[in-house]
Every structure is written in C-alpha cells, then in structure tokens.
Amino acid sequence: MSILVIAEHDNSSLKQATLNVVAAAKAIGGDIDVLVAGENCGAVAEAAAKAEGVNKVLVADNAAYGHFLGENLGELVAEVGKGYSHILAAAGTTGKDFMPRVAALLDVAQVSDIIRVESEDTFVRPIYAGNAIATVKASDSIKVITVRPTGFDPVAAEGGSAAVEQLDVVKDAGISAFVSEQKAESDRPDLASAGVVISGGRGMQNGDNFKMLEQVADLLGAAVGASRAAVDAGFVPNDMQVGQTGKIVAPQLYVAVGISGAIQHLAGMSDSKVIVAINKDEEAPIFQVADYGLVADLFEAVPQLEEELKKVL
C-alpha cells in the first residue's frame, strides 16, 4: 500500500493537523508520501520531511496553488494521487473543499471525517452530529479520505529525514480566482489544536464581553471559541464556531460559558478530556456532559475565575 497525505499549511508553516493525518496514514500502514502544494512553500516541505514516518515529500510549488483553490488542487491531487492506494487530507475547510473534487475526478467515493482506522478499507466516522458512529467499508481501488485531526495523536514533528522531490505538474483550471481574505488575527493558540479552549455563547450578550474570556484564556494559554448563536449574533467571527458545522475541538480542558449545550455544539467538543460549564440555568443540557458544572451568573463567575486563577498559576 502507498498513501499520499496532502499537507495542510499556509505556505510558510506546516499545520499540526498534517501530523495527525500522517498518524492516520500510519494506522492504515504502507509507505507514506506527503504532497505539499502551494506557492513559495519550501519551508513547509522541509518541515514535512522531518515528520516521523514520512517516506518522501512531493512539492508542487506554483502560483496556481497559492490560495489552495479547490479547482486547481482537485486536478493536481487527482493526477498525483492516482498511483496511490489511499489519499488523505485533514478535514479542515481546505480539505473539505478540494478532496471531494479529487474523489469525483477519480470516480471513487470519499470517506469523510474519519476518527479511527479499522483496516486498510474500513473506517469509523461520526454521523448525525456525532449521535451515531458508523463503521464503513470502501470498495473503490483508491480510497479518498478526510481525517478528523482530533481522532489521531500527531506523529512527532522532528526526527524524520524524507527526500524532497519537486513536481512540475501545473494544473490551473482557470475558472476561479482569489480576490481577498479577512484573516482573524490572534496571538492565541489555534482553536483546533489548543490544549485549553474557553468558549462563549449567547449568554455573553455582546462581543465586548468576550474580553472577559480572553483574559482568562491568556492566563491559561487557551484559545477562545464560541457557539453558533454567538457567531450568528455577530459577537465574534465565524472561525470561532465550535460544533457540528464549525470546528471540532478535543482539548484537555474545555470551558463553556453561557452556552446551553445544543447537540450541534456538543458534536464539536464532547471529546474534550475535561469539560467545565458555567451557566445560570441549572437545567441547561451542557451540565449533562460537564465534569464540573457551576450554576452561576457568568458576569460574576468569569471575573472571579480570573482572580482565582491568578492566585494558583
């Protein structure tokens, strides 16, 4: 078996999710090559070459891939990937965008968002917002798979010394173009891989009040997340949404503040190791999954939390 892992990156650094995907590839077994497609992405290729268990790094460095447009990546990955038994990418918004195109171009099914590998053709994935866990078997000759990073512990980022090979395949479909982006700037850790996440919901009342959570987050080295209601209301940007249709997180500690615990929210955080809920409604469903529940008004509890943490940290 030979597995092609598509690296997730921003042209300058390799995203940790790639290491989780390599771990999924190791669980399948076989030679693992990593494809780095981007523009001026040499540093990413070097980082990928050091990852544990990587056999070879293929680099497609061209302006056509600079913004990871699905039309171009889809064609590239279908072309490079057709010689492999498995093609894997992280189930982030980039992988979700181009991987189904790869599958369609190869005329094979895609298995989305796997959390476990049972064998080379059998995988486990959540369905119905995580209310059911399906074991599915893929019959196509090439398996196109997106991997939920929280399902696999990352391989070591250092220690490997894979060969790096430049590809000169340029696939520019010419039907789409990048216009602009609005990147959320934050010095805090990445939500998807942070060890501690503190999220706010509709109970926060407005965006300014999220500053209270940010102060606690800074003490804990945490990322800040949100419920859909908080994003829809415009308190915080969309990339902070945790849940079935937002980001999936599984930190050591997840603190839900003013979040009721709708099933769609739980789908994104219920694999966290320890869950804390702060909510003034003792009947809120979030308490059914919380290891530690505090029934309190968040406007009193969160400032107190900041003070108490300062004492012990």
Ligand X SMILES: Cc1cc2nc3c(=O)[nH]c(=O)nc-3n(C[C@H](O)[C@H](O)[C@H](O)COP(=O)(O)OP(=O)(O)OC[C@H]3O[C@@H](n4cnc5c(N)ncnc54)[C@H](O)[C@@H]3O)c2cc1C
Task: Name which of ligand X, other proteins, none residue 127 binds, using a CB cut-off of 5 to 8 Å depending on partner kind.
Answer: other proteins
Task: Name which of other proteins, ligand X, none residue 260 binds, using a CB cut-off of 5 to 8 Å depending on partner kind.
Answer: ligand X
Q: Is 135 in the site for other proteins (CB under 8 A)?
A: yes
Write out the binding residues for ligand X, residues 194-223 only, by CB under 6 A.
Answer: 201-203
Give me the least distance between CB of 164 and other proteins, in Å please.
26
Q: Is 160 in the site for ligand X (CB under 6 A)?
A: no
Q: Is 210 in the site for other proteins (CB under 8 A)?
A: no
Return phi, psi of residue 225, to 5°.
Answer: -120, -175
Give me the least distance between CB of 268 and ligand X, in Å please.
6
Q: How far apart are CA 66 and CA 256, in angstroms?
A: 36
Q: Which of 18, 47, 51, 101 binds other proteins (CB under 8 A)?
A: 101
Give me the least distance between CB of 300 and ligand X, in Å please.
8
Structure tokens that stand for 288 in this block: 């059914």
DSSP 223-268: EEEE-HHHHHTTSS-GGGBBSTTSB----SEEEEES----HHHHTT
Query: Which residues contact residue 127 at a Cβ distance below 8 angstroms, ignoring those fewer than 6 apart?
Result: 133, 134
Structure tokens that stand for 262 in this block: 């709708």
Residues composing the chain: 313
Q: Among the candidate windows 29-37, 106-114, 154-162, 203-211, which touches other proteins by CB under 8 A?
A: 106-114
Q: Is 279 in the site for ligand X (CB under 6 A)?
A: yes
Of 83, 86, 133, the closest CA to residue 113 belongs to 133
CA distances from residue 88 to 37, 51, 148, 153, 304 in whole angstroms, order as listed: 14, 16, 11, 16, 45
Return phi, psi of residue 21, to 5°.
Answer: -70, -40
Q: Which of 18, 20, 62, 110 binds other proteins (CB under 8 A)?
A: 110
Q: Is 161 in the site for other proteins (CB under 8 A)?
A: no
Task: Name which of other proteins, ligand X, none residue 230 binds, using a CB cut-off of 5 to 8 Å depending on partner kind.
Answer: ligand X
Q: Is 259 in the site for ligand X (CB under 6 A)?
A: yes
Q: Of 103 and 259, which CB lies nearer to ligand X in the complex structure?
A: 259
Which residues form the interface with ligand X (CB under 6 A)? 201-203, 227-230, 241-246, 258-260, 262, 264-265, 268, 279-281, 284, 297-299
